[in-house]
Structure 1
């Protein structure tokens, strides 16, 4: 499209939103914040776009997502008058999709060109279980190369080890390892010849690792990448006839959505995960319904949230199986969900007590999860007016924070500094602020 040709398509979309140009610019800036773009557009910039100026690819991505969220449908580049849509890899070929995703994840220059890779999409179309099973297609095999149970065991063991490292050190440190293994070794295994049983087992193992890598990307603040990993986990789970990992990935997408403030989307994913679950054992049932309860509470569905929380409690009491790499659920996780439900329903005191119980139950190896739950506890203690208790809890968070590389923990550290600045006359708060500053500066240098 020539630069000075008026963009009628964009004009019509903005008119459909009901926003003024100034309001549209503010909404684009808000979406850009999720990409850490630091956009500062105003009504004048929108006028330039409408006159035919084509924004940079990262800005286009923010514009398209902003319109999609407002209008409730996916708005493409061509639909917004920005030119042809970018080609996408063959989504029916899991190997091509994994390699493309690994390349986008590890190559910052390509990520900048793709633009939308880093952006979370509220209107993402998620394939249902019948879809991923019906559309499953075996990738081309490499002649003369055959895999068996040993290769499946290798992928499973690597996923378990990477999961442990993620729990202890956070997603920022571990995701490059997981992504590289997924995009090279696992992708190669998926192209090899195998028996039907081994092929399904490999697809299942690959789905587990794709889900885990998506979780790490979410923890690192790369939400668009996380979504793409989750979708590949859904597709691979379908090829492997693995209902468990399919439901687990949907639940992970619900956790991501609720963390970004998209309650309705979170509930849609949580409900889909619970509905797609096979005859689930009690631990899996608790794992899925606990997230449903959190999502229901986030949208104000009080009765549903309370019922689902009771169901999760009952299911966990019956659980006897060991938790694994994917789908592990234990009392600390249940208390964590209870805390969120109570908080969303307005019971701040009950939320604090439940989070304290979660911390008491949490395994020592889950350092990143402990850091986050401790930070949430401190934030709610501050909100409750318990300044000294909050400072003591924040101090516990700072014990773990230097050892964890996590964008979510970085956000909690920023909240800590903002909170204590509100109490310049309190010596405990100021001492905590000084300690936080020292730790933050030291962390940035390493």
Structure 2
């Protein structure tokens, strides 16, 4: 008994000493970090400064706010971007659930603290919308480093700043939207491991903002990535997350359309048709309201109908729906136009309509030179491969020759 008491006393003294040492190290590290940040006039993370993350910081703090800065800084640096993008898509990625992320992130105080208001939130929202417009028009190859730079040099400082609770949550939500968009642009470039990292950060910030709708929207983006890579079961799992009760009809259609696509790819005909009916009904209710930028629109719905029909082996039906999507698509969505016209042409050729396919590919080539997109490159590269057996046909040969002039980098010589 006495021996246990003595050993307990020694343990207590040792633990008190350790805690005092950790506290001193934390204070010194914090001052060094502040000095680095002020001298460089930009945020500096513990990892970048070669300092250990203080024990008092929650995992969410280190992983979300500092991780956001490290991730963004690598992505905006051309010398590091290849290494950062080397990771592959992982079906086994741990995706934090809503209870795991809600309210967890904290601001890491480093450098001079400032106070922000809704003007700063509005600025982040407006900049995110502008980057999204550039992505839609020109692809993500150039827009993503711009988004990463804005994230590191402006948004990170806003996340660290003092703010009223309502403003703090609005800023976290705005930052989550930016991360979601940046992840989407990484998908566009084929950097799937990087995209997953951005998406997970977006989930964490949405949870910190207690923004269930943005959390579900991000899961939907992850489902799109998974279904496009052929991971049907994972895509359906991600798409099945229920939206927040306040989700409007357009958002409900946005989520249900992706559920229909994922279900069709798994062969679940009943589920796919149920979800697409829900999406169609929600869109009917939404169309009577004003359209906001970047929202789910009739072209997107018809794209999902096309994907559902294709997944259920109705190729002519999928072509019809894809043509309707192309007809009603807004002109700003140039990158989407190139990609989906490429897909449409592939399906037309698949049922033996060579001349129709060539006409569609010509339309894709009209926009292609103005788009910097890995997924658009993939569709034009596929065109060259599919045309090769048909080069004795004059129409196919003319298209092939035009393609070599318009897209020499993906023509294969």
Are 1:387 and 2:354 an aligned pair? yes
Q: How does 1:359-378 map to 2 (within 5 A)?
A: 359-378=326-345
Are 1:106 and 2:76 an aligned pair? yes
Residue 17 of structure 2 is matched in structure 1 by none
Residue 139 of structure 1 is matched in structure 2 by 108
Question: In 2, Cα distance between the equivalents of 1:142 and 1:166?
Answer: 32
Deviation of the 1:100 alpha carbon: 1.1
Residue 318 of structure 1 is matched in structure 2 by 285
Is the contact made by 2:254 and 2:279 (CA closer than 8 Å) also made in structure 1? yes
Question: In 2, Cα distance between the equivalents of 1:97 and 1:323?
Answer: 35
Are 1:404 and 2:361 an aligned pair? no
Residue 434 of structure 1 is matched in structure 2 by 401
Question: In 2, Cα distance between the equivalents of 1:417 and 1:109?
Answer: 32
Are 1:243 and 2:207 an aligned pair? no
Question: In 2, Cα distance between the equivalents of 1:193 and 1:262?
Answer: 42
C-alpha offsets along residues 94-124 of structure 1, whole Å, 9 cap, x if unaligned?
320111111232345545666x753111111
Residue 300 of structure 2 is matched in structure 1 by 333
Q: 1:227 aligns with which of 174, 182, 196?
A: 196
Q: How does 1:64-143 map to 2 (within 5 A)?
A: 90-93=59-62, 94-107=64-77, 109-110=79-80, 118-140=87-109, 143=112
Closer, same or farther: CA 325–238 of 1 in aligned 2, 3 Å? farther
Taking structure 2 as the reference length, the TM-score comes to 0.81
Question: In 1, Cα distance between the equivalents of 2:179 and 2:290?
Answer: 22
C-alpha offsets along residues 266-315 of structure 1, whole Å, 9 cap, x if unaligned?
1111012xx24334211111000000000000110011001111110001
Question: In 2, Cα distance between the equivalents of 1:133 and 1:322?
Answer: 31
Deviation of the 1:161 alpha carbon: 0.7
Please, which moves more after superposition, 188-197 or 139-148? 139-148
Residue 259 of structure 2 is matched in structure 1 by 292
Residue aligned with 1:193, SS: coil
Instruction: Tell which has more relative contact order, 1 or 2 (C-alpha 8 A, sep 6+).
Output: 2
Q: 1:187 aligns with which of 139, 156, 178?
A: 156
Deviation of the 1:425 alpha carbon: 1.3
- For structure 2, the 5+ residue unaligned runs are 1-52
Is the contact made by 1:120 and 1:227 (CA closer than 8 Å) also made in structure 2? yes
Deviation of the 1:131 alpha carbon: 1.3
Deviation of the 1:345 alpha carbon: 0.3
Deviation of the 1:439 alpha carbon: 1.0
Question: In 2, Cα distance between the equivalents of 1:177 and 1:378?
Answer: 33
C-alpha offsets along residues 384-429 of structure 1, whole Å, 9 cap, x if unaligned?
1000000000000000111111100100011100111111210000
Deviation of the 1:369 alpha carbon: 1.0
Question: In 1, Cα distance between the equivalents of 2:248 and 2:131?
Answer: 25
Deviation of the 1:153 alpha carbon: 1.0
Question: In 2, Cα distance between the equivalents of 1:415 and 1:205?
Answer: 37
Task: Tell me the number of residue pairs that the alignment of Structure 1 and Structure 2 aligns.
Answer: 353
Larger Rg: 2
Are 1:352 and 2:322 an aligned pair? no
Residue aligned with 1:146, SS: coil
Q: How does 1:239-278 map to 2 (within 5 A)?
A: 239-272=208-241, 275-278=242-245
Is the contact made by 1:163 and 1:325 (CA closer than 8 Å) also made in structure 2? no
Closer, same or farther: CA 215–144 of 1 in aligned 2, 3 Å? closer
Taking structure 1 as the reference length, the TM-score comes to 0.76
Deviation of the 1:91 alpha carbon: 4.3
C-alpha offsets along residues 217-240 of structure 1, whole Å, 9 cap, x if unaligned?
110111111111111111111111
- For structure 1, the 5+ residue unaligned runs are 1-86
Closer, same or farther: CA 443–343 of 1 in aligned 2, 3 Å? closer
Closer, same or farther: CA 427–305 of 1 in aligned 2, 3 Å? same
Q: CA RMSD in A?
A: 2.0
Deviation of the 1:383 alpha carbon: 0.3
Question: In 2, Cα distance between the equivalents of 1:112 and 1:351?
Answer: 37
Deviation of the 1:137 alpha carbon: 3.0
Deviation of the 1:256 alpha carbon: 0.6
Residue 135 of structure 2 is matched in structure 1 by 166
Are 1:214 and 2:174 an aligned pair? no
